[in-house]
Amino acid sequence: MNIACNQTSQNPFLEKYNTPHGTVPFEKIKTEHYEPAMMEGMHRQEAEIEAIITNPETPTFENTILALEQSGELLDRVGSVFGNMRSAETNDELQAIAQKVIPLLSEHSNNINLNEKLFARIKSVYDLQDTLRLTSEQKRLLNNTYNNFIRRGANLEGEAKNKYRELTQKLSLLGLQFGENNLKESNDYQLVITDSTQLAGLPGSTIAAASQTAKEKGIEGWVFTLDAPVYIPFMQYADNRELRKELYMAFNTKGTHANEYNNEQIIKDIVNIQMEIAQLLGFESYAEYVLQKRMAGNSGAVYNLLNQLLDAYAPAAKQEVQAVENLAKEQEGSKFKLMPWDWGYYSNKLKERDYNFNEELLRPYFELSKVKEGVFGLATRLYGITFKKNPEIQVYHKDVDAYEVFDKDGSFLAVLYTDFHPRPGKRAGAWMSGIKDQWIDEKTGENSRPHIMLVMNFSKPTDDKPALLTYMEVRTFLHEFGHGLHGIFANTTYESMSGTNVYWDFVELPSQFMENYMDEKEFLNTFAVHYETGESIPEELIQRIVASSNFNIAYGCLRQLSFGLLDMAWYTRDTKFDGDIKTYEREAQASTQLLPIVEETSMSTQFSHIFAGGYAAGYYSYKWAEVLDADAFSLFKQKGIFNQATATSFRENILSKGGTEDPMVLYKRFRGQEPTIDALLIRNGIK
């Protein structure tokens, strides 16, 4: 591929960014800039790889491993922005470019990973590593580089190598198509209500948001979408059961309809190709391939954790479901059958009855700007860092804010972009990502600091009220902010091991750790004030939050386990799948099934985490990391939840180290012991 871009003067990607901290000049970037910049990025990296393999000198760490690590700077820079915009601010033109360039990027990656001359140089350095004076980070980078080449087909020969190229190229497009289908089917759906009596039970905030959406779309009445800030409260509060069912079915049948957005064949293709790739590389299944580079190590360890938790939580979960069903029958009659679209509604009624607690009571105390102050303030209290909004930093949408983050000594740490509200060009969910990772220039000692994005889909402001968040939205903010801190505190020499570039079942520890603060009154008291009166959140309300923190916790655990078991069922396969997706799904989740099955629905067809989001054979990570986070926070509970010495240890041993050492080594250095599930069981009231 010898396609160079001759538009250097017009393409902002190909110029040095003359912006604060070298941030992306979003205001200059146009859709037509991406493709030529990525082409030029591939062209430049090809030249860099050629320089490595034609170097007449004996292969060394510096001229081979480090040179490879530092190659592709332009391609990484453009690809990072492109990938982030495809998630946070996409459009048809951007998706069309993706369909064109992603196969080229896959081919480019294969050309590097399957380059025999390049691998020979890497192997030469790898074989001599015991004679080299390498630092621990250099050894880690060398071993990662060698093993990654093996795992990406470097040892394949002849037809097997050609087959690997073909399969990886197909796979790159399938994941893209799966995600696009989910987004488009979500965006195409709307529930229009014109009769105000059908709004019974819904909170004023939800009704106001639906009214505003209707105005924006030029529709009379109220419009409800499948966006989380709309869908969740509708399922919790709407008295109209038929409308709850309609919205539930729309949400849970995405990707199953006989239209252009159907994901069923895509799932089969993804699963079969992943299995075939793994078997080409000498593994029984794709799960075994993935888990070789995880804390779990193998599928047996994953199933051991999932089954331990299933045994511990299932009895309590069944009792929780029975309690909700009993309440529903009290209100609706003994013949009432609790269905999945009833769960949120009646469990919320039970929570109100048993704890005198309604999450809508919290909204006035969770105004977004105050929540930001509270979350940022928590980081200040723990780590001494501060956040300063900088309007000079360009952003990609008017809803986005950019902050400079400074360390306790005043030195610059990072840029943080926050993006809180749903819109048609943004995929569902919440995530943290890096636009630029951290690394250290070994020659000059310069520490190149990261640029981090936090992207969410929270309740929007209305004409007469600011953005008022739910309890779960604040908790989600803390979760993603934990990922953000993992990126912000990154302090490693090499970019490929920086920040969140860690084992997938370790990456959720910093995020889930932060969620613990949501049930601590000392934290809530730092920011939760009524948006109109300025009154602090009442002590009684905090007590209700704490008292109800484990409400239906076992049901929630089994729900997560059902996703983990489904993921493992898809990726532990060692034979081709060509069956019925819904039937296979039911069998995989049978041990966690607590509510009646609705035959038309499917989790798999919308399960972006494992088919388009990098969590294939890895969804168990949330529960794995929950064991870690409960154990880690138990130390803070002993020492004080704001104890700076403990926080400093967490920063130095976990947050700043990235993937430079084995995660269990890092964890034990912080905690002094390996984790057990005991702390989690105690926190959840199971033990």
Catalytic residue list: 480
Q: Rounded CA gap, 394 and 663, in Å?
A: 36
Please classify residue 151 by burial: count the beta carbons closer than 10 Å to its beta carbon, then call 0-12 exposed, 13-18 middle and 19+ buried.
middle
The β-bridge relationship of strands 451-455 and 412-419 is parallel
Find how far residue 438's CA is from the centre of its chain: 19
Q: Rounded CA gap, 235 and 241, in Å?
A: 9
End-to-end CA distance of the chain: 61
Q: In 324-336, which positions are buried (b, 16+ CB within 10 angstroms) versus exposed (e)?
A: bbebbeeeeeeee
C-alpha distances out from residue 397 to 95, 231, 234, 418, 422, Å:
18, 24, 28, 11, 12
Find how far residue 199's CA is from the centre of its chain: 33
The β-bridge relationship of strands 431-436 and 412-419 is unpaired
Q: Rounded CA gap, 224 and 236, in Å?
A: 14
CB 486 within 8 A of CB 500: yes
Could you identify the residue written with the tokens 């419009």? 223
Q: What are phi and psi of 533, to 5 degrees?
A: -95, -20
> Which residues are CB-contacts of 340 (< 8 A; sequence separation ≥ 6)?
248, 252, 595, 596, 598, 601
Q: Rounded CA gap, 159 and 450, in Å?
A: 41
Find how far residue 592's CA is from the centre of its chain: 24
* Token pair recorded at residue 389: 């909004």
- Residue 358: CB atoms within 10 A of its CB come to 16
- Residue 560: CB atoms within 10 A of its CB come to 18
> Which residues are CB-contacts of 646 (< 8 A; sequence separation ≥ 6)?
635, 636, 639, 640
Long-range pairs, 134-142, Cβ under 8 A, ≥24: 134/61, 136/660, 136/661, 137/492, 137/493, 137/494, 137/497, 137/660, 138/61, 138/65, 140/497, 140/659, 140/660, 140/661, 141/65, 141/66, 141/69, 141/494, 141/496, 141/497, 142/61, 142/65
Please classify residue 647 by burial: count the beta carbons closer than 10 Å to its beta carbon, then call 0-12 exposed, 13-18 middle and 19+ buried.
buried
> Which residues are CB-contacts of 511 (< 8 A; sequence separation ≥ 6)?
432, 479, 480, 481, 482, 483, 486, 625
